[in-house]
Amino acid sequence: MPYQIPFRVNSICLLFSFVLSCQIQSQTDSLRSVYESINDPDEKLVVLNQLAWSIRRENLVSSDSMARAALVQAKELKNQNEIAVAKNTLAVIDIMNGRFPEAIAKLKECSKINLEQKAYKGFLDNEMNVGLTYYFQGRLDTAATILLAVSKLADSLDVQSTRAKILSNLGAIYQSMGKYQNALEASLECLEAATEMKDQELYSATAGNIGLLFDYMGNYEKAIYYQKQSIAIDSTLGDKSGMSYSYGNLGEIYRQMELWPKAFECYSMALEMATEIGDSEAISGQLMNVSLYYDHVGNLVKSRQLILQSLEISQRNGYPYQIALAHSQLGMTDLAENNVDGALRNLRLSLSMSLNQQIMDLVTANYMGLSEAFERAGNSDSSLHYLKLHVDISDSLKTEESKETIERLETQFRVLEKENEISELSAKQAQDALALAQQRNWIIGLIAMVLITLMGGWVIIDRRRKKAQEVLAAERLQFQKNMLDSTVLAQEEERQRIAKDLHDGLVQSLAALKLGVQNSMNVAGLSAEQKGSFSEHIKNIDTAAEEAQNISHQMMPRALTETGLISAFEDMLSKTLKQTDIGYNFEQFGVLNQRFKPSIEIGLYRIAQELVNNILKHSGAKHVDIQLLKTKTHLVLHVEDDGKGFEFDKKGSQNGIGLNNIFSRASSVNGEVNYENGKPGTIANIRVPLGD
């Protein structure tokens, strides 16, 4: 039989992460009772929002109705926090109904409200949920990029509980993309955070995810260890949903190890628990897992029956992953029954769905199944094609580098785990010692506790103050950069406008005027004196037109836009320095016939133009050397004159309009300006990064 993939689910469901600003602990019935007993409008609104959220799975229509009612009341009461809560619930309902653009719009509104209210935890939750919405759309790269950025922001704001939740979801997304190394890094970071926060629920969910990752990568010993850790914690917490998923994943590990009795026992436990709590998604998946056992023992009729039962549940509830998985397993069963046409039909359908959803383990399973199906159909070329695709993907997911990284990351976590155990033991010993000291002398103990508390509070406050200052400084620098970029862009746009107006307006008008004067000059009966006067007017018009064209060219040289930096530099130097007594030498290295980003080309041209103008006006130089060279990462402009020089600091003085313009131009393209004293004269070096 070809490789079959079972139903395997992250121990934590992504949608579960759509939590409100208030955690809902009570049951729905209790909330209804509380709602009926409250008279205060604001308190009643809070409970109504909680009710709307709590019933979203069992009754989507009622949840939507309650959330809309809560939104109306929140607007009447001008309660911004509860407006955000109601819109968050409505966004989740949109997601459950597949209305993803509407969900993103609502979540962005929530983000804006929470940011204005300085409710940073709520803001981070909303932004995370935007990323998850892209995940549900199948846009996994976008989702991963957003969650990675939000996790860094959560760390900078020191909102560790939200950061841990983001890392958990990020790991699940990377896992769906087949990026197991990235998934493991995020999951181990999450496990570290869960350990520090003593959050057993998060620890259990993350341990299950890590076990799943080791399963994908073929390390069954570690996969079993982490799944059993998750089951033990879920059992203590009474979390049957988590136990159902973990038992299912543990059964899959035993199946791959050919321990079928243990696999069947775990699959059956998972199905029993999913049925008890009415989790249709898990029921659908575990039915397919149990079908694998019956397929193994040769009961294909029972196996197909269970797969079709699972498919019916998945289609009714709209579970795309389970639908794709069911068609894959139906294809495997068709092959076992030698129904090649049925196998090809089901496997192609599953492959199309799994590629669309980027479920890489299911993609590679379908490749293997199609390879065998085409071999049986006598199509060896297609069989070899799909076999190669299967091998290529499998190799890419299990590289030696990934294994080394996994060992390193897990070792780091093990060290942290031991350090935490030692820390807890040390803390207990310290508490015992403190208790003994308090019995001996309670006054000294009290003073020590007060001092420790004050010092700890000061450290925490100072840390948060420094982080806030860092965030503010970064925002200020970004604002200044944006302002500078906008100013330079506005200047360049104005130069282009003026150049166009001169060329298309004034120069054309002067040409028309010249033509009119020439026509008047040809009128019969004019005296020689009058014709001479007309000739003088034509010369003046030509001079004015030439000056207008020169100004237009300086504003936006045609050579720069059409042929690039080298031609533009040569043209500018020729028109600027050839009319003076200053000699010059221009050299380029590695730049000829190359084009760069327009912002870089315009920026360097303006800097060179300003430097040459400064030399003409202030230096008294007799000779100028200009070099433009390209390294692997930068464009470098070197300008050296033999003039009288000027005073500057090491970073380049910004005094004076000309020098300030040079600094601004360089900053707008992330460049650096440095001045040095020549012997005599001045040396200016400008380095501009080329970027990607």
pLDDT at 311: 92
> Distance between CA atoms of 323 and 284, rounded to whole angstroms?
9
378 alpha carbon, distance to own chain's centre: 46
CB-CB contact of 563 with 570 (8 Å): no
Antiparallel, parallel or unpaired: β 623-630 and 672-677: unpaired
> Distance between CA atoms of 548 and 493, rounded to whole angstroms?
18
- For domain 22-26+42-118, the CATH class is mainly alpha
CB-CB contact of 437 with 444 (8 Å): yes
pLDDT, tens only, 82-95: 998 899 889 888 88
3-state DSSP assignment of residue 671: coil
> Distance between CA atoms of 363 and 371, rounded to whole angstroms?
12
Antiparallel, parallel or unpaired: β 623-630 and 583-589: parallel
> Distance between CA atoms of 156 and 42, rounded to whole angstroms?
33
End-to-end C-alpha distance for the chain, whole angstroms: 48
3-state DSSP assignment of residue 425: helix
Q: Under 8 Å CB-to-CB from 48, ≥6 apart: which residues?
A: 35, 66, 69, 70, 73
pLDDT at 105: 92
96 alpha carbon, distance to own chain's centre: 23
Alpha carbon distances (Å) from 128 to 233, 326, 432, 652 = 26, 31, 43, 43
Q: Mean pLDDT per 10-residue run, the chain (692 residues)?
A: 42 35 46 77 87 77 88 91 90 83 90 87 87 84 89 84 86 83 88 87 87 85 91 89 88 89 93 89 88 90 92 87 89 91 92 79 86 91 88 62 48 49 53 59 64 71 73 60 53 60 61 70 71 75 69 63 82 83 88 82 87 87 90 88 75 56 81 84 89 64
> Distance between CA atoms of 660 and 488, rounded to whole angstroms?
12
> Distance between CA atoms of 79 and 75, rounded to whole angstroms?
6
Does 559-689 carry CATH code 3.30.565.10? Answer: yes
> Distance between CA atoms of 67 and 601, rounded to whole angstroms?
54
Alpha helix (H) ranges present in 257-299?
260-277, 280-296
Q: Under 8 Å CB-to-CB from 279, ≥6 apart: which residues?
A: 241, 244
If you search the block for the tokens 């669309």, which residue do you land on? 356
> Distance between CA atoms of 207 and 629, rounded to whole angstroms?
54
pLDDT, tens only, 136-161: 777 888 888 998 888 888 888 888 88
CB-CB contact of 504 with 511 (8 Å): no
3-state DSSP assignment of residue 127: helix
Write out the two tokens for 226: 């982490």
CB-CB contact of 267 with 287 (8 Å): no
Give, in degrees to the nearest 5, the angle at Cα 86 between 84 and 90.
115
Q: Residue 110: count other Cβ atoms within 10 Å of its Cβ.
A: 27
- Per domain, the residue ranges of the chain are 22-26+42-118, 466-556, 559-689
H or E stretch covering 670 = none
User: Which residues lie across from 636 on neighbouring strands?
Assistant: 629, 687
Closest CA to 554 of 508, 610, 617: 610
> Distance between CA atoms of 209 and 175, rounded to whole angstroms?
9
User: Which residues lie across from 676 on neighbouring strands?
Assistant: 683
CB-CB contact of 55 with 66 (8 Å): yes
Burial class (CB in 10 A: 0-12, 13-18, 19+), 439: exposed
Alpha helix (H) ranges present in 502-527?
507-521
Write out the two tokens for 567: 């031609």
pLDDT at 494: 61
> Distance between CA atoms of 98 and 168, rounded to whole angstroms?
23
